[in-house]
Amino acid sequence: MSASDKAIQQQIIDAFNFRHAVKVFDPDRKISPEQFDTILEAARLSPSSFGFEPWQLLVVQTPEKRELFRDFTWGANGAFNGTEGQLGTASHFLIFLAHTDATMKHNSDYQQTFMKKVKHLPEDVIGFINQAFQKFQEHDFKVEGERQITDWSAKQAYIAMGNVMSVAALMGIDSCPVEGFEMDRTIDVLEQHFGIDPKLYKPAVMVALGYRADEPVFPKTRRSMDQIVQWF
Ligand SMILES: Cc1cc2nc3c(=O)[nH]c(=O)nc-3n(C[C@H](O)[C@H](O)[C@H](O)COP(=O)(O)O)c2cc1C
């Protein structure tokens, strides 16, 4: 392995050790627009099953809009440690939405338009993908019904979220993934205050980004490699 390969390897491992779920950010430090563009680009370029990109991203920046989530976003409202939490201190706050069955069932308008306008695929290829995707949803992977299809979309959104956090860490930027919220009330707020139609999109996960206020209280622990990996 070359010296530069080794340096890259070390940089990656350092970034993964640096990343931890930050509970309180330094409210005075903001991510630069250029760095935040790179973070969004990491999400945009993320892989997805069949390449359908079944996610939307909301960047929630005004304190007023963030406060709408405070009562029921227990994973980011700081209630457990008496702080403003990630909602009140993060430089940037992202909400990943998952496409529902209305936008992600085979033959949906979104998919047909996506294949034509984004992928520029010819009609015969679109017909082939429609058939393959129908088989995938109904027979192979068994992703049918509103809940299953939305969950399947959310799985893809989590890949983008992972990339967002890893890329941020590589730039020395902190993050915290957030699943600690009430789904029903989040859907209501998104519909009433953000114009998100829950028939089309449902919240998947949130991510707060910024710079840590303090170093982590506990050292990182993980199972050992041999506890999680089996080679055959
Ligand atoms: C999908 C997901 C949801 C999470 N939700 C929350 C959350 O709501 N609030 C929070 O403070 N941490 C949340 N976490 C952080 C985890 O608790 C944390 O990643 C885990 O304990 C490992 O610690 P580390 O990330 O600091 O290494 C979440 C993590 C993931 C991956």
Q: Is the CB of 203 under 6 A from ligand 1?
A: no
Q: How far is the CA of 20 from the centre of ligand 1 (A)?
A: 8
Q: Is the CB of 179 under 6 A from ligand 1?
A: yes
What does DSSP assign to residue 201? E
Residue-wise pLDDT for 3-49, tens only, equals 999 999 999 999 999 999 999 999 999 999 999 999 999 999 999 99
Beta-carbon count within 10 A of 16 CB: 14
The band of 151, judged by pLDDT with boundaries at 50, 70 and 90, is very high
Domain boundaries, the chain: 10-101+147-215
Whole-number Å distance between alpha carbons of 127 and 144: 20
Q: Is the CB of 180 under 6 A from ligand 1?
A: yes
The H or E element that residue 56 is part of is strand 55-59
| Mean pLDDT value across the chain | 97
Name the least confident of 105-109, 186-190, 222-226: 105-109
Whole-number Å distance between alpha carbons of 147 and 133: 17
SS3 of 110, please?
helix
Q: How far is the CA of 187 from the centre of ligand 1 (A)?
A: 21
SS3 of 221, please?
coil
Residue 105 has a pLDDT of: 93
Residue-wise pLDDT for 78-117, tens only, equals 999 999 999 999 999 999 999 999 999 998 999 999 999 9
10-101+147-215 fold: NADH Oxidase (3.40.109)
Name the residue at shortest CA distance from atom 14 of ligand 1: 177
**Pairs from 143-151 (Cβ < 8 Å, separation ≥ 24):** 145/101, 146/100, 146/101, 149/99, 149/100, 149/101, 149/104, 149/105, 150/98, 150/99, 150/100, 150/101, 150/104, 150/202, 151/98
